[in-house]
Amino acid sequence: MKTEGIRNISIIGYDGAGKTCLAEALVRYGSPDRALKEIAPTRLDLDNEEVKRNITLSTKTTFTQWKDIHINILDTPGFFNILAETSNSIAMTEASILTVRCSKPIRHYIEKFGFMAEDRAKPLAIFINQCDAERANLDEAMSSLSQEIKGKLVFISYPIGVDTAHQGVVDILKMKAYYYQGAYGKFQEKEIPVDLKEKIEELRTQLVEVLAETDDLLVNKYLEGVPLTEDELIGAFKSGFAKRTFFPIFCGSVKKGTGVNVLLDYIVSCFPDPTTREWPSKVSEDKMEMRRVDASEPFSAIVFKTTVDHFQGKVSYMRIISGIIKPEDIIYNSSKKIEEKFATLIRIDGKNQIPLTEAVAGDIVAVTKLKDTQTGDTLSTSEKPAIYLTMEFPKPTISFALKAKTKQDEDKLSNGLQRLIEEDPLLSYNRTTDTKELLLSGMGQAHLEIAIERLKRKYEVDVVTQPPKVPYKETIKKSAKAQGKYKRQSGGRGQYGDCWLELKPLPRGKGFEFTETIFGGAIPKNYIPSIQKGVEEAMLEGPLAGYPVTDIAVNVYDGSYHEVDSSDMAFKIAGSMGFKNAYSQANPVLLEPIMQLEIVIPEEFLGDVIGDINSRRGKIQGMDPTPRGNIVRALVPYENTATYATDLHSITQGIGYFTMQFSHMEEVPAQIAQKIIEAYQKQKSQQEEEK
């Protein structure tokens, strides 16, 4: 295989548009020996969750052949929670195909996928699917596309009839009509239907004008009335498509196989091959270099996906940037600066794995049993290392608190979560220091539910989930002084510690300060650390509602000691007592975490989103209109963000998205604080009664 003979495409689009079925249809036409008899269910739906939900939950790879060209196909998720994986898959290919229904599509989803391709600077083609579906309406589909895709749209193929009248397609550039007999029957080339000739001529004129505009020489020739040859038009297509000067539209039905052969023709003749791009590689902290996609260069590749197979172990999917890889090679992980040895070199074809003897620059393959390599790592040679910075993983927006159901589950939980995250970098987990909970975080409620289902099915770990606890804190609003005195006598040596403490509030975010201003040796210096330790332990569970205390300064300014009975333990207890005594007089209050949200939404949902933010005790900080929607900045109490990802999806029909990060701590409103304090006191009383 030669690099120039490879095409890499990603199929993108919202769920239900037919992405996976289009991938299967491309295989069926180009590689009938590997094709299924039926298009659905497909070979690419690998997980039980995908079959159950009838959606693609992670990128799948397959391939086909057409006119001696090898076509790698990435079938990407359209699921709103995990579109970051789709964006990363687009980065691995030279072009994307947006699949939409031949009806009124989900408009804003089209816009989102269009922007993804734009962000990755990738050519974008459109396949209007389901032209044979009941109530198919090409005008509605085009109306949505025209509103959401910012650029010139031109038909390359046009349906011969829609709905029950759908029989085939016309290749507008080549002026050929294809008719199809039965589902995936042989197609025949015939004359363009008489009733379509005028429409096709009009569309061809539009196409030729757009293609001519890609080259000054062609423009002059066209304006002079000289017909452009087919080769000139194909050349203009290749050039203009690569530069994103227009977006070609193909039509058909993947269920019947109509129009798929035309799409394949243009993939091999007009879509860019891997040599048309260069990849930026990080050489040092402040220096980048461009790597050519060339088999004669040293090996380098980026790992864009990881799965864990019960038989093969870890499987690392890679896009080869340069060089050649063979099964006996030892490779260098330049991201982690370690050597790695893999077990097998394979091509992934849905559920199947095909052993390879080598793979060249531009290809998409996989290797097994790389020990330390993770998604996003760069593999190369140690002599000429490369680091490609193409993978982007957004921060999670929602978390579940997990608790293992049994001791056996608890023993396997950490390993199971680690495996989940290897396969899905959009997940993360950590144990919080404040609430001591194990949190699994992801891009939405459904995303986490699917992960938990996979944790149980694949790694046999069963967990109970609940909303995370709010990490409240306590602080004081005024200064106070109090004594802490601990005295015990029980025969023999006693215990004696006595200190006076002053508490003062600190500005938000300052944490804790401890000082001492003892004069005259009232307390020996060696006991001061014990007093501080007692204070710090008391601060771990504030007297008000049991939450950690913060933003407070404590000063030891007086006290007394006993030459025989004083000890570190006595002064530690005295420090704790003094803190609690002063704390109760210092007007203690509860603090809650406030989160900074940045929400991107279409104009039509602005009022509903602002109303929802207000209902969550949120404060709107500002709004900015952008080509991609309105950006709303807001501050919202953490307590009211647990369900926000799900609620925003519902309000905006799956279109709105947001980022969230901690902003600051703020005093809890008195009415809400009172309920929290009463609940804590009640729980504390019950625990004391049980003792």
> Can you say how many angstroms the Cα of residue 184 is from the centroid of all Cα atoms in its chain?
36
User: Which of the four CATH numbers 3.90.1580.10, 2.40.70.10, 2.40.30.10, 3.90.550.10 does domain 278-380 have?
Assistant: 2.40.30.10
Q: For residues 94 and 109, what is the distance between their CA atoms, to the nearest angstrom?
A: 21
Q: In CATH, what number does 3-195+246-276 get?
A: 3.40.50.300
Tell me if the bond preceding 41 is cis, omega within 30° of 0. yes
Tokens representing 413 are: 């939980």
* Residue pLDDT, tens place only, 331-373: 999 999 999 999 999 999 988 899 999 999 999 999 999 999 9
User: Which of the four CATH numbers 3.30.1370.60, 3.30.70.270, 3.50.50.60, 3.30.230.10 does domain 473-586 have?
Assistant: 3.30.230.10
* Residue pLDDT, tens place only, 375-397: 999 999 999 999 998 888 888 88
Query: What is residue 287's three-state secondary structure?
Result: strand
* Residue pLDDT, tens place only, 141-187: 999 899 888 889 999 999 999 998 999 999 999 999 999 987 666 78
**In terms of C-beta distances under 8 Å and separation of at least 24 residues, what long-range contacts does 425-428 make, across chains too?**
425/374, 425/375, 425/376, 425/391, 425/393, 426/82, 426/84, 426/85, 426/393, 426/394, 426/396, 427/396, 427/451, 428/396
* Residue pLDDT, tens place only, 561-608: 998 899 999 999 999 999 999 999 999 999 999 999 999 998 889 999
* Residue pLDDT, tens place only, 610-649: 999 999 999 999 999 987 789 999 999 999 998 898 899 8
Q: Check pLDDT > 60 for residue 40.
A: no
AA letter at 224: E
Cα→Cα distances 185→24, 134, 189, 190, Å: 15, 21, 13, 15
pLDDT for 36:
62
pLDDT for 284:
76
For residues 202, 207, 212 and 218, what is the CA-based torsion angle, rounded to 10 degrees? -70
- What residues have CB less than 8 Å from 389, skipping those under 6 apart? 280, 282
Q: For residues 53 and 344, what is the distance between their CA atoms, to the nearest angstrom?
A: 32
Q: For residues 169 and 176, what is the distance between their CA atoms, to the nearest angstrom?
A: 9
Q: Say if CB 19 and CB 325 are below 8 A apart.
A: no
pLDDT for 691:
64
Indicate the length of the chain as a whole number: 691
**Helix%, strand%, coil% for the chain, nearest 5:** 35, 35, 35
Number of neighbours of residue 532 by Cβ within 10 angstroms:
19
Handedness of CA 236, 242, 247, 251 (dihedral sign): positive
Candidates 641, 576, 136; CA nearest to 396 is 641
Candidates 165, 126, 131, 173; CA nearest to 149 is 126
Question: How sure is the predictor about 327, in pLDDT bands with cuts at 50, 70 and 90?
Answer: very high
Q: For residues 279 and 273, what is the distance between their CA atoms, to the nearest angstrom?
A: 14
Tokens representing 499 are: 């200190």
More confidently predicted of 434 and 125: 125
Fold: same for 400-466 and 591-670: yes
First-to-last alpha carbon distance for the chain, in angstroms, is 76
The whole model's pTM is what? 0.86
Q: Say if CB 618 and CB 635 are below 8 A apart.
A: yes
Handedness of CA 516, 522, 528, 533 (dihedral sign): negative
For residues 667, 673, 679 and 685, what is the CA-based torsion angle, rounded to 10 degrees? 80
AA letter at 588: P
Cα→Cα distances 110→73, 78, 116, 526, Å: 20, 11, 10, 70
Q: For residues 93 and 536, what is the distance between their CA atoms, to the nearest angstrom?
A: 55
Candidates 536, 531, 481; CA nearest to 512 is 536
AA letter at 35: A
CATH superfamily placement of domain 400-466:
Elongation Factor G (Translational Gtpase), domain 3 (3.30.70.870)
* Residue pLDDT, tens place only, 184-202: 667 899 999 999 999 999 9
Q: Where are the alpha helices (DSSP H) in 75-193?
A: 83-91, 107-119, 138-148
AA letter at 639: E
pLDDT for 107:
67
Tokens representing 494 are: 């006693």
Q: Check pLDDT > 70 for residue 46.
A: no
Q: Is 20 exposed, middle or buried (0-12, 13-18, 19+ CB in 10 A)?
A: buried
Residue 190 C-beta-side C-alpha neighbours within 13 Å: 14
**For the chain, what is the radius of gyration of the CA atoms?**
32
Q: What are phi and psi of 649, to 5 degrees?
A: -60, -40
Q: What are phi and psi of 16, to 5 degrees?
A: 95, -5
* Residue pLDDT, tens place only, 649-676: 889 887 888 989 999 999 999 999 999 9
More confidently predicted of 626 and 245: 245
Interior/surface letters 309-348, b for 16+ CB within 10 angstroms, e for the rest: eeebebbbbbbbbbbbbeeebebbbbbeeeebebeebbbb
Q: For residues 368 and 314, what is the distance between their CA atoms, to the nearest angstrom?
A: 6
Domain ranges of the chain: 3-195+246-276, 278-380, 400-466, 473-586, 591-670
What is the second-level CATH architecture of the domain 591-670?
A: 2-Layer Sandwich (3.30)
Q: What is the mean pLDDT of residues 524-544?
A: 95
pLDDT for 391:
83
pLDDT for 80:
73
* Residue pLDDT, tens place only, 425-453: 999 999 988 888 999 999 888 889 889 99
Give me the helix-helix angle, 19-30 and 260-270, nearest 10°: 80
| 218-227, 390-399, 487-496: least confidently modelled range | 487-496
Q: For residues 362 and 382, what is the distance between their CA atoms, to the nearest angstrom?
A: 20
Q: For residues 668 and 444, what is the distance between their CA atoms, to the nearest angstrom?
A: 27
